[in-house]
Amino acid sequence: MRKLNIAIIGLGNIGSYLFKYLNDNKKILTEKNNCQPVIRYVSAKNKKRKRNFKISKNQWLDNYLSATTNKNVDLIVELIGGAEGPAKKLVFNALKNKKHVVTANKALIAKYGDQLSKIAEKNNVNLEFEASVCGGVPIIRSLKESLIANKISRIYGIFNGTSNYILTCMEKQNKSFDEVLSNAKSLGYAEANPSSDLNGDDVSSKLKILSSLCFNSFLNNKIYVEGIKEIDKTDIDNANKLGYKIKLLGFAEVLNNKIYQRVHPTLIKKDSYVAGIDGVLNAVIVDGKPVGKSIIQGEGAGPAATTSALVSDISSILRGNIKFPFSLSSKERKNLVFDDIKDRFFSAYLRFEVIDKPGVLSNITNIFSKNKVSIKRLIQNPYKNNKISSIVIITHKSKDKFLNKTLQQVASRNYIYRTPKLIRIDNI
């Protein structure tokens, strides 16, 4: 029986779960893949940390980088995290030394994926990263294999469970952003420092990877990113009254032979499929020909879901499948035209809190008119003290740059009580 010697580098929640899973399911994995996975070595930052499984003395590596040159290692699983430092050194060295690599590191792949792919190709080894995007949602392999016959025009969806959980709880539990965030941390749905989840960076990294696979392009950093930190309960309630829900979505789409990548809170109709994806779930939707619309949803994070993706990649290597990391060779991938969204057309929700005095509303509507932004719906709600009023405007489709110019000009007026809001609307 063939064997594949594995080194797991990083023994946090995911690394520990993977270690136990591979040991507990060695027999079935061997039978299914006709090759036995053997955990030859492990390494982590803290050797003395108490763990609920046994590691033999012969398995532990004091120097994690030694795995990259060890003749008894065929495959390295990188679970350190981060785009720089130890993770970067490990993966670059591993591929250069002709070791297969499996990783859950979206930041590393989003930043250095093109370089790493070339090294893997040169040395005829695998670089697999199914676990880097949406955990238990098998979208990477679907794009590389199941959907390979399709010309994809758009990929979009909910790619971050933390932000989705927060928005869901704000809507259903009538709680503030800060209250929900605190609860998410206590439940383990949010990190102690959740900034990358909340500011959109996490989704941005995932979207770059998906976009590259969809359009056979190199990774591209031209992407609009906006998080959910400014969304408050008032916006959630207003959206609900207007027949919408607010979701943090990522989009990569082809329009007029240009690719647009964007991440931002979005108002979507309550009866849309994506609107029903609540809590920590992720969902990815692919529009392509001939398949039409393809939808995959599932747990986006956590040790179990991530391990499912990691084992899928490990199993592919156990079977001897040597594939290009991004489906095509680096010579076949393209430098396509990516554009920013300033000239893309959107409908939008805008909210202004203003000092309630004569002439304010007419001044606002005049600014909209001068910037070629047409108003579809306007709702004015005075607050109880009658000194402050909320004005909500839904626009017809207009160029993004005109919408933002309008927002900025209104925001500069002396009747503005609080920073205005703009949330794009998408008919998905």
Measured CA angle at 53 (ends 48, 58), to 5 deg? 65
Catalytic residue among 144, 206, 208, 405: 206
Strands (E), 270-344: 281-289, 292-299, 338-339
Cα distance between residue 47 and residue 378, in whole Å: 62
User: Cis link prior to 358 (omega < 30° from 0)?
Assistant: no
* C-beta of residue 265 within 8 angstroms of C-beta of residue 247: yes
Residue 206 annotated in active site: yes
Ramachandran category for residue 404: left, alpha or beta (phi over 0 → left; psi -120 to 50 → alpha): alpha
Q: Which residues contact 162 (CB under 8 A, 6 or more apart)?
A: 184, 189, 190, 191, 194, 197, 198, 202, 280, 301
Q: Which residues contact 25 (CB under 8 A, 6 or more apart)?
A: none
Q: DSSP string covering 335-383, please?
A: ---EE-STTSEEEEEEEEEEE--TTHHHHHHHHHHHTT--EEEEEEEE-
List CB contacts of 54: < 8 A, sequence separation 6 or more: none
Whether the CB-CB separation of 3 and 38 falls below 8 Å is answered with: yes
Q: What is d(CA 69, CA 181) in angstroms, rounded to the nearest whole number? A: 43
Q: What is the largest CA-CA distance in the chain?
A: 84
Q: How far apart are CA 367 and CA 412, in angstroms?
A: 11
Residues 6+ apart with CB under 8 A from 410: 352, 364, 367, 416, 420
Contact 277, 163 (CB under 8 A): no
| Spatial CB neighbours of 320, under 8 Å, sequence gap ≥ 6 | 35
> How would you class 161 by CB atoms within 10 Å of its CB: exposed for 0-12, middle for 13-18, buried for 19 or more?
buried
User: Is the separation of the CB atoms in 151 and 253 below 8 Å?
Assistant: no
Is the CB of residue 231 less than 8 Å from the CB of residue 269? no
User: Which residues are part of the catalytic machinery?
Assistant: 206
